[in-house]
């Protein structure tokens, strides 16, 4: 599988991206992020649970889904997201999983989506309520043949019930660091968590983080500031961000990680819009080695 996340906050819209994205070898695209509104106070059964993707009209979403389907690519709505996960857990912590999933189902049906990607990244708000929510999602969508996937990482697994982890069709492992880290995380899920290897997808970054992990820059921005950045996995000392050092995945490491992902379920990209143009596109490196 080759899974790409497509965010809604890069200055364009999904309709315009549909004519620009390279769908070559892509199998799944996750629209990030779809969420309900924040409750005004305590969430109740009367709270607004209507899902939407911020800044995207229904027509934008439909246009993109049509183009992706024409290319043979499945499209999922990714719910939650870093920070946005609070908009999901506010409901399941209030015991409102059934009502929330019913609302999610309306959105999935309306836009002819192929499933749901659960992106809850807050370990302090998982536990039993998260497990109930995942089961509710599975019970709603799996009988209709729709996909249920998740973005996961080793740091959250002590809080995520194993019963929930093993209900996903496949998991996208958020390893946005080194190749050594990728090896560790993939073995953790296959050996420690006993997830079948073909259901574990290796996440790779199209961005870099500074050494204190307090700032991120798109790979395209890094390459523009350091034209030879594609040769290595760390740059610094230039004009970008006062010369801070940034770690990322350059071309050689991306090729190695792609080959590693092929030994499992494939590769996931966060996120497609951060890539650099040819001749140093990381997506092209993945496609070449996939």
pLDDT tens-digit map of 146-167: 999 999 999 999 999 999 999 9
Is residue 229 included in any domain, yes or no? no
Q: State how far the Cα of 284 lies from the Cα of 290, in Å rounded to an integer.
A: 10
Q: Predicted confidence band at 20 (pLDDT cuts at 50, 70, 90)?
A: confident
Number of Cβ within 10 Å of residue 163's Cβ equals: 11
pLDDT tens-digit map of 268-286: 999 999 999 999 999 999 9
- Structural domain span for residue 20: 2-174
Q: Predicted confidence band at 8 (pLDDT cuts at 50, 70, 90)?
A: confident
Is residue 274 included in any domain, yes or no? no
Is residue 199 included in any domain, yes or no? no
Is residue 115 included in any domain, yes or no? yes
Q: Which residue has the tokens 């027509």?
A: 59
Conformation bin of residue 3: beta by default, left when phi > 0, alpha when psi is -120 to 50: beta
This prediction has a pTM of 0.96
pLDDT tens-digit map of 209-242: 999 999 999 999 999 999 999 999 999 999 999 9
Question: By the 8 A CB rule, do 135 and 164 touch?
Answer: yes
CATH number at residue 22: 3.20.20.80
pLDDT given for residue 24 in this prediction: 93
Using the predicted structure, report yes or no on whether residue 141 has a pLDDT greater than 90: yes
Is residue 246 included in any domain, yes or no? no
Q: State how far the Cα of 250 lies from the Cα of 280, in Å rounded to an integer.
A: 9
Is residue 57 included in any domain, yes or no? yes
- Give the contacts of 179 (CB within 8 A, at least 6 positions apart): 253, 256, 257, 260
Q: Where are the beta strands (DSSP E) in 103-199?
A: 115-119, 147-152, 170-173
Using the predicted structure, report yes or no on whether residue 10 has a pLDDT greater than 90: no
pLDDT tens-digit map of 82-106: 889 999 999 999 999 999 999 999 9
Mean of per-residue pLDDT scores for the chain:
96
DSSP code, position 118: E
Is residue 40 included in any domain, yes or no? yes
Using the predicted structure, report yes or no on whether residue 11 has a pLDDT greater than 80: no
- The tokens describing 139, both together, are 């019970």
Structural domain count, the chain: 1
Is residue 217 included in any domain, yes or no? no
pLDDT tens-digit map of 50-61: 999 998 999 999
Using the predicted structure, report yes or no on whether residue 12 has a pLDDT greater than 80: no
Using the predicted structure, report yes or no on whether residue 185 has a pLDDT greater than 90: yes
């Amino acid at each position: 599988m080759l899974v790409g996340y497509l965010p809604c906050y890069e200055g364009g819209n999904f309709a315009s991206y549909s004519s620009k994205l390279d769908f070559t070898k892509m199998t799944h695209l996750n629209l990030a992020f779809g969420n309900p509104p924040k409750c005004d106070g305590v969430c109740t059964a009367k709270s607004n649970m209507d899902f939407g993707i911020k800044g995207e009209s229904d027509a934008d979403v439909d246009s993109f889904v049509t183009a992706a389907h024409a290319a043979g690519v499945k499209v999922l709505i990714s719910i939650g997201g870093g920070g946005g996960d609070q908009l999901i857990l506010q409901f399941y912590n209030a015991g409102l999983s059934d009502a929330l999933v019913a609302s999610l189902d309306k959105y999935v049906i309306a836009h002819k989506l192929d499933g749901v990607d659960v992106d809850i990244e807050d370990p302090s708000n998982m536990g039993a309520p998260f497990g109930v929510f995942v089961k509710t999602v599975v019970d709603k969508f799996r009988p209709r043949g729709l996909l249920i996937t998740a973005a996961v990482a080793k740091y959250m697994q002590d809080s995520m019930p194993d019963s929930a982890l093993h209900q996903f069709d496949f998991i996208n492992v958020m390893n946005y660091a080194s190749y050594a880290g990728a090896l560790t995380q993939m073995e953790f899920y296959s050996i420690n968590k006993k997830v079948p290897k073909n259901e574990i997808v290796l996440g790779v970054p199209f961005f870099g983080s500074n050494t204190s992990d307090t700032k991120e820059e798109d790979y395209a921005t890094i390459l523009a500031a350091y034209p030879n950045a594609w040769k290595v996995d760390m740059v610094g000392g230039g004009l970008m961000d006062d010369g801070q050092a940034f770690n990322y995945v350059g071309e050689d490491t991306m090729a190695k990680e792609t080959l590693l992902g092929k030994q499992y379920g494939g590769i996931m990209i966060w996120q497609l819009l951060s890539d650099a143009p040819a001749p140093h596109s990381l997506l092209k490196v993945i496609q070449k080695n996939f």
